[in-house]
Structure formats: structure tokens, C-alpha cells
Chain A
């Protein structure tokens, strides 16, 4: 998935909008989502999904798969929020909170109304905030994020580390891919037993080959006069499009006003 995200971030329709504008837009929606009531959160979620799937032309299936990742973690934590336990003698104090329940001996196990409300609120907020983060990942290439970080004075150490890590992710995945193919062509995954053995070999070989690659890349850096900083030049190709800028500003303002009004009404 890492590689697919990277590919899409380079090929999406919003690729050439200025990275700074996309970063700002995402940050504004992120902040509004944290402050907004549930109805507005859903609105923000729908709107950002339109940007991702409609404007950037990211395949909906990929976007949904990405959203499913945080959902899995969230669903795992839901039982702890929804289920409640009480002694049968204390039943009166929690009566208003019980949606459904049953007793087992002296213990009463129930589904909490408050817990359900909390978890649904948490679910919506997590999905919307994840969508804002995916908007960044899917529409801004990692290279542009690093470039923006450099431009706005992020410490060199951090940008260097990010650049090298990004490079190594590919070296690592390429190495793993080659090893897996080499095993597959020699029927390394014929059955469960050979598969486990092959995976073990890949893991150990990956470590060794990564060290070899690391050593060679270090030599490559040195041979090109590495001075402790990867200084590069690139031509700026980003171009602002008024249609998107206006929609982003007007939409964000309307949502902010709506949130303000909803709190004022209370």
C-alpha cells in the first residue's frame, strides 16, 4: 500500500496544485473537525472525500481500503467502550444507561447507551481526521512534502533523514520483491512448510542485503561529494487554480460559521 499511495500522489489530478495550499487546506479542515459537532464532522468527511475521489481522481476502492485501516483499530477498541459490567445489586444506578443487557450470576453485563454515543462520535471523528490525513498523503508526493519542509526552515537533519528513509523504503521493498520472485520461480511456496521456510530465508537475506545496499549507497553518496546535506535544485511546476482555491476558502468559511452558529444556539 505504501507504494500505491506514493504512485497515486504523483499521478493524481491535484498533483500540480501548490503543496502549501493543500497542506493549509488539510490543516484547516483537521482543526475544524476537532472542534465541530458530529453533523459538521460528517459534512467535512463527505466534502474531503469529494476532493479525494472526485477532484483528485483517486480510485474509490483504494480510498475505502485506506479508511478501513484505522477502522480496524477502532472496531477493536469498541467493545471496551460499549460493554459495561455491574453488580446486580447496583442495577438501579445505571438503569438509564442500559440499552440491552443480561445477568450472569451476580454480574450484570450490558450495552451502554453513553458508550455507544461516545463510540459513534469517536468513529466519525477518527474517520474524518483520517480522511484529512489521506488527502495529504494521496495528493502531495512525499518529495514535495520534503521540499516544503526545507522551504519553511525544517531542520536539515530531519529532511535528510526523511529523504534517505524514503529512498531506503524502495531499496528494501525492491530487494524483498526480488528475493520473493527468486523463491517463487523455484517453487519456494509450494506448501505451508516450504512457504514458512522461504519467508525465513527472505527475512534473513533481507537483513544481509540491506546492509550490503546500505554500504554501497554510502559509497555512492561519498563518491558524489556528500557533505552531510543533500542540497538539490528543482524547477517549480505547481500552479494555483482559482476554481479550487475559491471552493476551499468559501467552503471552509461556511463550515467555520456553521460550527460557530451551532455553538451559539446552544
Chain B
């Protein structure tokens, strides 16, 4: 099953990819090929797929870091322009959190690094100060405000890199493997922040290997393989495609695994009710911020 993105076309599309291909210099196979998809405003998108399927390249393409050799990328229905001024304007509206935080930290201390994007926006100093202080609190970084980023652990650096982008409250937030390097407590904390940011009206696209989290959090799931979107839809639709997902080596969220393991259910919808109720309870608990 493959739903076509065009069917979801709406006036409030933030990003449109039309037959986009990108080949890294010297590579034999394109990292992204003939990719078409839309990202609508104020939605939660999850991108899943095996390593090397093109997720990171996709994020870099949206952010204008790479220019596709083929196809068109539109931001609010206007094709991306690749001159420095247009790109800087674009990046004020699209925040990207890299998978490896080392690649994103530019300043010398934690608070300086968080303030970097705010200073680029030309905000008044008092506003920068209050936003930085709030971000330090939100991400449990207050004790490290004056610490040099070079002395911190990868998990701490990851939190800073997420705070760097979240503090800007961009219209679109791209998170490349946000859970990488974070301990379970920090993951839960981050998920709470993710919920509050999204409630403020930001659109979020994240890539993740945590299918239980994706199932509970996302409105829409893209499944990528070899640079293409091979499956997309609501979590319920995508995770019902057991065969396809197993073929791609992705597996299923735990609740779907449980459902599939019960051969006595005979596919009777009535038999699935307890599972659906349980699934809903997981989602409710997640959204109430109790537990991921």
C-alpha cells in the first residue's frame, strides 16, 4: 500500500518536494531519488527507515544545505532560492537539529551557543537574555550555563543542540534522531518539550528508530527506503503494513507486535478492541506527559 502525497494537498502546505533527486559528489547511487511529499502546517511527522535510506539528506535538502540536481523543493509554495540572503531567511523559519551535536555547536560556552541563533535574528539583548534563561531551565542546563561546550558529554551536547533550535521557535523543526545520545530520563523530558513546542504551533519532522514513540507521537509517518518514500500514512495505517515493514527490516511497535502474535484473533475487528483500547491508553498517557 502506498498513499500518494498529492492526495493530501492542502493550501497550508509548508514544504513540497516534487520529484527531488540528490546525488552526493562521487557517489554512484542518489541518496534521494524522485522524492515527492508534502509537509503541512502544525502537524507531527515522523520519518523512519534503515540507516542510509536518505533521511539526513532529506533534512539537509529542506534546510537548503544541499541543492537538488533534479526536482523542485517549495517552501510555502515558493521554490527555494539558493542565494545566501534567501537561505538565511529560510533558516530563520526552519530549524535543524543534527544527529551528531558536535556538528552544530559553534560557540564556546553553553549560554553563548544557545544565544547564537537569537543574536542572528537581531533581537534586543533583554529578550535574548530571557529566552536563553528559559531554554536553560527547560533543558535542565542551568548549572552548565557558563561551562565550555568542549568539556561536556555527548548527551549534554545533544541537549544543547536541541535547545539551540527550540529556543528560536521556528515554524518548522527538523530533528535528526533526537533521541540519540540521550538517556531515558532525558528522552522523556525532551518528549514533553516536544509536545509543548508543537502546541505553540510549530510543525515538527523527526527521524527516529523508536517505533513505539513514533506510534504514540506522530500524526503522519513516512517510511523511506533507498532515497524514496515507500509508504506513508497515519501510524495506524503504516504499522498495519506488517509484511512491508518486515521486508524493509524495520519491525513494528510493541503493541502491533503483540496484536500480530495473537493468532487466535482471526483478524476479527471485535477481537482487536482490547488492543486498540490499550493503544489509545498509551497515546493518552504520552500526551498527558506522564510517560513516553
Residues of chain A at the chain B interface (Cβ within 8 Å): 6-7, 10, 141-143, 146, 163, 166-167, 170-171, 174, 213, 216-217, 219-227, 230-235, 237
Contact = CB atoms under 8 A, between A and B. Distances in A.
Given A143-B109, A231-B116, A233-B129, A223 B104 contact: yes
Interface string B108-119: 110111011111
B91 A143 contact: no
A119 to B, nearest CB: 40
Interface stretch (B143-151, B209-217, B222-230, B244-252): B143-151
B88 A223 contact: no
Contacts of B111: 233-235
Closest 8 CB pairs of A and B: A231-B119, A233-B115, A143-B108, A232-B112, A216-B103, A170-B150, A220-B104, A220-B103
12 contacts: A143-B112, A146-B108, A167-B105, A167-B150, A171-B102, A174-B102, A221-B106, A224-B104, A224-B116, A231-B120, A233-B119, A234-B115
A201 B268 CA distance: 61
A230 B109 CA distance: 13
A213 B102 CA distance: 9
B65 A141 contact: no
Contacts of A213: 102-103
Contacts of A217: 102-103, 106
Interface in B150-181: 150-151, 164
B241 interface: no
A220 B125 contact: no
Interface string B58-99: 001001010000000000000000000001100110001010
Interface of B: 60, 63, 65, 87-88, 91-92, 96, 98, 100, 102-109, 111-113, 115-121, 125, 128-129, 132, 145-148, 150-151, 164
A143 B60 contact: no
A225 B117 contact: yes
Given A163-B107, A235-B145, A219 B119 contact: no
B122 to A, nearest CB: 9
Contacts of A224: 91, 104, 106, 116-117, 120, 164
Contact of B148 (A6, A222, A231): A6
| Residue from the set B98, B102, B108, B145 with the largest chain A CB neighbour count within 10 Å | B108
B107 A225 contact: no
Looking at chain A's contact residues, the main secondary structure is: helix
Given A10-B151, A163-B107, A167-B108, A223 B116 contact: no
Contacts of B146: 234-235, 237
B91 A232 contact: no
B115 A143 contact: no
Nearest to B110: A234
A176 B251 CA distance: 37
Contacts of A231: 116, 119-120
Contacts of A141: 148
Nearest to A3: B150
Contacts of A225: 88, 91-92, 117, 120-121
Contacts of A227: 88, 120
| Residue from the set A143, A221, A224, A235 with the largest chain B CB neighbour count within 10 Å | A224
Contacts of B119: 231-233
Nearest to A231: B119
Given A10-B147, A217-B103, 18 more contacts: A143-B109, A146-B108, A163-B108, A174-B102, A216-B100, A219-B98, A220-B106, A223-B63, A223-B96, A225-B91, A230-B106, A231-B120, A233-B115, A233-B119, A233-B128, A234-B115, A234-B146, A235-B145
| Residue from the set A166, A213, A225 with the largest chain B CB neighbour count within 10 Å | A225
A126 B105 CA distance: 38
Nearest to B112: A232
